[in-house]
Amino acid sequence: MRKIGVLGGMGPEATIYFMQQVVDAVQARDDADHIPLLVDNNTQVPSRIKAILEGGGEDPGPVLAQMARGLVGAGAEALVMPCNTAHYYAGQVAAATDMPFLNMIDLSCAEAARIAPGGKVGLLGSPALQQVGVFETALAGAGLTPVYAAEQGRALATIRSIKAQGPSEFAAHTLIDICTRMVTDGADVICICCTEFSLLAAEIDAKVPMFDALQVLVNATVEYSRSGVSSPGVNQSDDVKIATSL
C-alpha cells in the first residue's frame, strides 16, 4: 500500500477524527491491513481565518508547502489535507512536491454532482470559503451552484466554539438551523465542508441529502493507498490524472 502524508493540525481534533475514519474504513485482520499514514499534526500553521477573513495574518501557504515537502521527504507517496479552508492554498501544496495531492474540494464537488446533478449545493463551512471562492471553480466545472449560509457570523462562531470547547449539543442545533435556511434558499444537497463540523455530522438533520467532505477524502485516501487509482480530485504527478487545483 502507498504511504499517505497528512497535512494536519487544522484543527488537531479534526485531524485525529480523519485518522480514525481511515482506520474505521478498513476491514483489517492485522496491523498490516491498515493504511500507512505519515501525519504532520502542525498546530502552528498560521490561522486561515486571520489570513483570509481578517487580513494581515501570516500567509499559511509557505508553511503548508514546507509540510508537504517534509512529508514526502519522510516517505509519503501521496498527500491529503483534511481542512477545507486550507484548500485555498492547495495550488502551493500540490506544486511543492512531485507526489499526488488528493484535492478534497474537487472530490467533494464530484460527489455533489453525483448526488444532485446540475443542482444547488449548500456549503456548510467557514465564511472564508465564500469570501475567496474556494469551491467556486470546482462547482462551476461540475455544473453546480453554491448556496452559502445566510448567517455567516453564526457559522464562524460555531467553528471557534468547537475549536475551543469541542463539539456540543448547542453547536449541533446551530448547524441544523443553518442547514434549514440553506434548504429554504434552494439547496438540493448539503456538503459539510468544515472539518470541525465533521465532528457533528451524525447530529445534523438537513432534510435533504447530505455528505461530509472529510468522509469523501477518507474514501479517496483508502482507495489511492490500496490501488493507486486516480480520482477526480488528484493533482500532480505524471502517472495520475491532473485536475484543477485552487
Phi, psi torsion values for 115, nearest 5 degrees: -75, -45
pLDDT value of position 235: 59
Q: Could you report the per-residue pLDDT of 100-122, keeping only the tens digit for each?
A: 999 999 999 999 999 999 999 99
Dihedral sign (CA 78, 81, 84, 90) = negative
What does the alpha-carbon distance between residue 148 and residue 201 come to, in Å, rounded to a whole number? 18
Domain covering 105-212: architecture: 3-Layer(aba) Sandwich (3.40)
Whether cis (ω within 30° of 0) applies to the bond prior to 11 is yes
Amino acid occupying residue 105: I
Phi, psi torsion values for 194, nearest 5 degrees: -145, 125
Q: Give CA 207 to chain center in angstroms.
A: 22
pTM, entire model: 0.89
Confidence of residue 240 (pLDDT cuts 50, 70, 90): very low
Q: Is 50 exceeded by the pLDDT of residue 245?
A: no
Strands of 101-102's sheet in order across: 37-41, 4-8, 78-80, 101-102, 234-235
3-state secondary structure of 78: strand
pLDDT value of position 229: 57
Q: Could you report the per-residue pLDDT of 11-41, keeping only the tens digit for each?
A: 999 999 999 999 999 999 999 999 999 999 9
Per CATH, the number for 4-104+214-235 is 3.40.50.1860
Helix (H) or strand (E) holding 190, with range, is strand 189-193
pLDDT value of position 56: 80
Nearest residue to 185 (alpha-carbon basis) of 96, 122, 97, 119: 122
pLDDT value of position 232: 56
* Mean pLDDT in residue range 55-68: 94
Q: Is 50 exceeded by the pLDDT of residue 244?
A: no
Q: Give CA 158 to chain center in angstroms.
A: 17
Q: Name the burial class of residue 30, with classes exposed (0-12), middle (13-18) and buried (19+) by CB atoms within 10 angstroms of its CB.
A: exposed
Instruction: Name every residue whose Cβ is closer than 8 Å to that of residue 59 and which is 6 or more positions away in sequence.
Output: 46, 51
3-state secondary structure of 9: coil
What does the alpha-carbon distance between residue 87 and residue 73 come to, in Å, rounded to a whole number? 21
Length of the chain in residues, anyone? Answer: 246
pLDDT value of position 210: 97
Question: Structural domain boundaries of the chain?
Answer: 4-104+214-235, 105-212
Confidence of residue 238 (pLDDT cuts 50, 70, 90): very low
Give the N- to C-terminal CA distance of the chain in Å, as an integer. 28
* Mean pLDDT in residue range 144-157: 94
The answer to which of 16-20, 52-56, 162-166 has the lowest mean pLDDT is 52-56
What does the alpha-carbon distance between residue 15 and residue 21 come to, in Å, rounded to a whole number? 10
Q: Is 80 exceeded by the pLDDT of residue 234?
A: no
What does the alpha-carbon distance between residue 132 and residue 20 come to, in Å, rounded to a whole number? 30
* Mean pLDDT in residue range 219-239: 71
